[in-house]
Amino acid sequence: MPKITPKNNINTTNELRAVDFFCGGGGMSYGMMKAGINVIAGIDCEPKCRETYEANISGAEFIEADVFKLKPFYLKRKLNLEKNDNNLVLIGCSPCQFWSIINTEKKKSKKSKNLLKEFTRFVKYFNPGYVVVENVPGVLRQKEESGLKKFLEWLESNGYNVHFNVHNVSDYGVPQNRKRFTLIANRVSDVEILPLKIEGKRLTVRDVLGNTNGFPTISHGHDDNTPFLHKVMKLGEKNLERLIYVEKDGGNRFGFAAIPHLQLECFVGRDNSFRDTFGRIWWDRPSPTITTKFYNISNGRFVHPEENRALSLREGAVLQSFPKDYKFFGKGIDSIARIIGNAVPPAYARSIGLAIKQNADAVQN
């Protein structure tokens, strides 16, 4: 790595401390923590995330707050933050449904379209050493509407070196194809910081799931109330019959398309639409993107490669790169799956954190 030149008046004596806005169940916080960054707080308006966050992010405070109402000065006092702290990392991974290409109800997610603008208020107030933003690629495609264009202009005019691009998390130790917009900005050195890629081949489903990786064979509807949560949605009789005709290891709904009582009306004459629905994931590829509906076979390619069932909660979590002992809490499969699917994959977060830590260490040396 080339020698990094610190900018003038840089204080490099303190450890990196991070505040994770829109923290959810802690995917980003956990990855940052594993990179050696002290995560002091996670902020989210969803109380259902608290128990999961607090159970896994040791030493961090969960602050339940609506960012539209949250004041920077309140955060300054509560967390003992200072302005212009070169070792402060502000992270903003806001809910992204409004800018997603996935067909969501835009009216329900309309409020989320301004979350980047709200996060900008805190960046301007604290002027931290490091800023991280992770979101769907749609915020880059619609720079002006999402607030990204003005945010970039402010960062660059205030002395930040800014990296922003769309990355596939499968290049960073996550066994999943998931494209994410990522911005890493720093004002403590004169270099651009990029997430650190892993060396060697990308992880595949076979590397993390299956009997040899601690996932026993189970049937649909299997209940698991242990912390491992190898729990699966129960299928109706007809859906179970459909899966019998879906070829193992990557098959799709065309396996039952010619069987009249199994073919769905909505698919008749629409062979090029929703091709992944009822599809199996492949053993020797990274999985498709794990969404909040990965437990449901009619919401994407979420069928086990061999077994006639959807992915279990723990399988979805591992494909998101959560460790097998990560604790999840919720009232049902759907609530826990939402926490898992909405999370930043921890392995990807760690690659961002390691790049920041590497930069900070180089500045100190």
CA nearest neighbour of 205 among 261, 147, 280, 146 = 280
- Give the span between the Cα atoms of 343 and 99, in whole angstroms: 16
- Give the span between the Cα atoms of 169 and 177, in whole angstroms: 6
- Do residues 310 and 280 make contact, with C-beta atoms less than 8 angstroms apart? no
- Give the span between the Cα atoms of 5 and 313, in whole angstroms: 46
Q: Please state, in angstroms and as integers, the Cα–Cα distance from residue 52 to each residue in 23, 227, 295, following that order.
A: 11, 12, 19
Question: Dihedral of the CA atoms 27, 24, 75, 130 (nearest 10)?
Answer: 30
Which residue among the candidates 23, 45, 96, 266 is catalytic per the annotation?
96
What's the distance, CA 195 to chain centroid?
14
- 96 catalytic, yes or no? yes
Mapped onto helix, strand or coil, the DSSP state of residue 280 is strand
252-285 residues labelled b (16+ CB within 10 A) or e (exposed): bbbbbbeeeebebeebeeeeeebebbbbbbbbeb
87-126 residues labelled b (16+ CB within 10 A) or e (exposed): bbbbbbbbbbbbbbeeeeeeeeeeebbbbbebbbebbebb
Query: Which residues carry out catalysis?
Result: 96
